[in-house]
Structure 1
Amino acid sequence: MLPIVRRRPLGHTLTARAVLAACAVAVVSVLVTALIAVPIAVRGVERQARDSLDQQAQVAAKLLRPRLGSGRTGDEERLIRQLRTEEIEAYLIRAGQPDRPGLPPQVVARVTAGRNVSAVRPIGGRMSIVVGHALPDRNGIVLVSPRPTGLWRQVLRIIWLPLLAGLAAGAGAGVLIARRMVRPIRNAATAAARLRAGDRRVRVPVEPPQEAAELAYALNDLAAALATSEGRQREFLLSVSHELRTPLTAIRGYAEALADGVVAAEGAQRAGQTMLAEAEHLDRLVSDLLALARLEAADFPLVPARIDLAALVRDAAEAWGGRCAAAGVLLRTELPAPEVPAFTDPGRIRQVVDGLLENALRILPAGAPVVLAAWSSPAGAVLEVRDGGPGLTDDDLAVAFERGALRQRYEGVRKVGSGLGLALAAGLVRRLGGTIEAGHAAEGGARFTVTVPTPSVSPYEPRTQA
């Protein structure tokens, strides 16, 4: 099956968004720089103009100081004309009176009082830089220069080039960053498509940043887990096929012998018993397969009720006593209390106990013990099955409840079953709202501990619904 390629509008791609983000950052940076720099530049220009005007006022004051008391002279006229060529108006104050109108009264009063002036004031309808120097005898000189204007327009005329350069740099940086960011995502998407197509050998290159590396590790772990799971499924199907074929072969062989008249009359009963036993074995195997398939279904039948686990243990011990005695296995019970109340499905929990005992009897040698125990604990009602068989390793405990895992490990080493029993027991206990744990038994073999809710706490009722 070919992967479906979904085309998105350009603006929805990570590359386009990264480019837009970088351009936006560049534009904002240039504008913010302009907003900060222009006022600073304006103040700097005004300060420079004021300092220049102040120096000119000092020079003019030195030149005119000895002449202000004798009326207007040709030197004054020449100085005033020279200043006007530089767009500077000069006002001469004699005995507290300016030589012509236009100066603000506050400026005249300050200079007449013997104090210098340096300020920005409205003169003739526009803002101007005003610098005044006081001279003796209430005399003085005031120079007025128009305040610098049009700086914003000048900055805006200059700023377009940096703005374009910033946009170009932002677009270029956005493309490079986006490609670097998108590459791991595209690799992951390609790997996911190949996984969906069935290729379990695909691996994603691990590369920075950390988030991309974590994504690569997750996909690689997923591919490995899928490969392992599918391998176990294949092994499981092979083992189930073998388990199904064995009783079918026996039934077919005896049926053909009976049909051909090969079996004598005195052997017919034995043949029928064998066929019945193999049919029952086949029925159990098919029932286990169906139960496993239906465990996660919303309509899986559960009938929870208040039961006594101690009574269930006693009934199970009585039912299995004959088989254990025939196999030379020592079956005993441990019931510290006469009653162990629980809230669970009695049929399903008995199915779990029977499955655990079936597994134990399969591998227990004659003389080995198997123990059925039940007690109450703060976590719930506990039911335990222990045996004195070969037991499980720590590695076995980690996969004990996976379908076919132990069969795959021990086939040919010791007697194994279909690989369904422990998986079915774990699934049933989970549906019952309980927990199941595998461990090492004090008797030297395996221990399986099941905990189910008590009547006071029955949390699994919602889990029986979809």
Structure 2
Amino acid sequence: MRSLAARVVALVAVVALATALLTGAILVRAIRATNGEQAGALLASRADTVAERLVTRRRAGCAPVQDAAVVRMLRTVAGAVVRCATPGAATAVPAPFTPDDVTGAAADAPAVERASGGTRYLVVARPAGTGRVLLVAQPESDAARLTSGQRTRALLGALAGLVGGVLAGFALASTVTRPLRRLADAARALSAGRRDVRVPAEGPEEVADVARALDGLATALAGSEERQRQFLLAVSHELRTPLTAVTGYAEALADGVLPPAEAARAAGVVRDEAGRLQGRVADLLALARLEADDFRLEVGPVDALAVVRAAAAAWQPRAAAAGVALRTEADAGPHTVLADGERLRQAVDALCDNAIRILPGGAPLVLAVHGAGSQYVRVQVRDGGPGLAPEDLAVAFERGRLTQRYRGSRPVGSGLGLALVGELTHRMGGLAEALPAPEGGVAFGLYLPRA
């Protein structure tokens, strides 16, 4: 019994059986109690009738010995124990009767219940003329016994409850398992590569929630795979361009078709393009390592201002060659953060590389360090470039999003640098954000925990 449907049906059937048995037991007890009450009333009525006949016969002058015929009639009709007794007589009253029955006999008194010798009786005592008392007792089990019709009705009621419970179990199992089977089929389709799978939200609320979650997963997978496809296209494009240049100049140098005056320039192009390739491959490897479980950071106290000033000194020559006005700014400090110094420098370098690539001559580039409250220090790279659309600021650190968005309208990279910055900052316990810069471009901020 491994399927959920079989377990639900079995569970409901067991519950229905237990309910039917309990209901049947309660019903039988109620019927027996009702039968006992009716039997007591009937026994009292018959005792009244016989007592009246005895009184009538006594008034007519019949001998006491002739009363036996009347008493025998009562015993035959009710299956009862019948005795006649005289109040005050020395003769002992047989069980289940007591002397109180003889002395307390009264007309219209109800039958009483009494136990004697392990048997329960219904006992009635009636005056039967001068000096005589009629005592009648009937076993309660005989009085309360179910008739064949009552037994049949009780059994049919229990069977109806059991059958109804089993049918309800099948209905419940179908209601629960049908949408679950659809969910399982949809999950298998997703694992097989389909992304257009949708499941109607039906059944119990919990199952409907699972269906909605599975639909959301399918949508998210489709979006993620589309972004991954676009990212791979962007990376392949970025790698193809320098590879084409390297291959072309290398073939020209190997074939000796370039004049000696052009050989040095061609070698310089090959060197520069190989450097670009090396940078792209390094970014890919860094992102792959970040996503691996064994990636480790050497986190400790780091002077963020010292890291930023070192980066500014390293990028100053390239900024000057591009006509970019690079400067640093900082508040009073202190600026010590908990971070990996090498990784923080790597993030700042990536932001500087992106900024100098797109900045026109004369545009500012600011590397800033400010205290961002009691818990964080903010490292910013601000520029006076073309900036980003408001909707692009929120997704600036997603892999390849800006490359896909701005390719053809401005110089773009592989889309790996900002993703690397965001992931490194997150791994160091910080937060990366992109905002409009006062200089007119974008302010990329890294919020790092203060040491």
Question: Given the two structures, how large is their TM-score scaled by the length of structure 1?
Answer: 0.85
Distance 1:95 1:250 in 2: 136
1:151 CA displacement:
4.1
Name the counterpart of 2:100: 109
Q: How does 1:255-404 map to 2 (within 5 A)?
A: 255-376=250-371, 377-404=373-400
Distance 1:317 1:176 in 2: 73
Distance 1:419 1:199 in 2: 27
Distance 2:87 2:294 in 1: 112
Distance 2:127 2:363 in 1: 122
**Percent sequence identity over aligned pairs:** 44
Pick from 80, 83, 86 the counterpart of residue 94 of structure 1: 86
Q: How does 1:16-27 map to 2 (within 5 A)?
A: 16-27=6-17
Amino acid at match of 1:52: L
C-alpha change, 1:413 and 1:152, in structure 2 (3 Å) is farther
Instruction: Count residues in correspondence.
Output: 444
Amino acid at match of 2:298: V
Name the counterpart of 2:170: 175
Name the counterpart of 1:82: 73
Conservation of the 8 A alpha-carbon contact between 1:364 and 1:388: yes
CA RMSD, Structure 1 to Structure 2 (Å):
2.9
Pick from 212, 221, 224 the counterpart of residue 216 of structure 2: 221
C-alpha change, 1:365 and 1:152, in structure 2 (3 Å) is farther
Pick from 430, 437, 443 the counterpart of residue 441 of structure 1: 437
Pick from 18, 39, 43 the counterpart of residue 33 of structure 2: 43
Distance 1:360 1:397 in 2: 15
Conservation of the 8 A alpha-carbon contact between 2:101 and 2:135: no
Question: Given the two structures, how large is their TM-score scaled by the length of structure 2?
Answer: 0.88
1:300 CA displacement:
2.9
CA distances 1:71-93 after superposition (whole Å, capped 9, x unpaired): 85376333212101111333333
C-alpha change, 1:104 and 1:29, in structure 2 (3 Å) is closer
Provide structure 2 residue ranges, at least 5 long, that are not aligned to the other structure.
none
Distance 1:276 1:228 in 2: 38
Provide structure 1 residue ranges, at least 5 long, that are not aligned to the other structure.
1-10, 456-466
Name the counterpart of 1:147: 140
Q: How does 1:237-256 map to 2 (within 5 A)?
A: 237-256=232-251
Distance 1:259 1:88 in 2: 130
338-347 or 246-255: bigger deviation: 338-347
CA distances 1:166-201 after superposition (whole Å, capped 9, x unpaired): 444333332332223212111111111121111222
CA distances 1:206-256 after superposition (whole Å, capped 9, x unpaired): 323222222222122212211211111111111111111111111122222
1:156 CA displacement:
6.9
CA distances 1:17-59 after superposition (whole Å, capped 9, x unpaired): 1210121122012111012212211211111111111222333
Q: Matched residue of 1:219: which SS?
A: helix
Distance 2:35 2:262 in 1: 123
388-397 or 91-100: bigger deviation: 91-100
Name the counterpart of 1:464: none
Conservation of the 8 A alpha-carbon contact between 1:200 and 1:226: yes
Distance 1:152 1:136 in 2: 36
1:400 CA displacement:
2.1
1:327 CA displacement:
3.0
Pick from 406, 431, 450 the counterpart of residue 427 of structure 2: 431
Distance 1:72 1:295 in 2: 120
1:152 CA displacement:
7.6
C-alpha change, 1:136 and 1:384, in structure 2 (3 Å) is farther
C-alpha change, 1:48 and 1:226, in structure 2 (3 Å) is same
C-alpha change, 1:147 and 1:331, in structure 2 (3 Å) is same
C-alpha change, 1:110 and 1:442, in structure 2 (3 Å) is farther
1:67 CA displacement:
6.2
1:138 CA displacement:
6.8
C-alpha change, 1:382 and 1:97, in structure 2 (3 Å) is farther
Distance 2:437 2:145 in 1: 90
Name the counterpart of 2:49: 59
C-alpha change, 1:173 and 1:229, in structure 2 (3 Å) is same
330-339 or 18-27: bigger deviation: 330-339
Is the counterpart of residue 230 in structure 1 residue 221 in structure 2?
Answer: no
Conservation of the 8 A alpha-carbon contact between 2:54 and 2:128: no
CA distances 1:267-296 after superposition (whole Å, capped 9, x unpaired): 222222222111111110010011111112
Distance 1:222 1:234 in 2: 18
Q: Matched residue of 1:244: which SS?
A: helix
1:100 CA displacement:
7.6
Conservation of the 8 A alpha-carbon contact between 1:68 and 1:139: no
Amino acid at match of 1:409: R
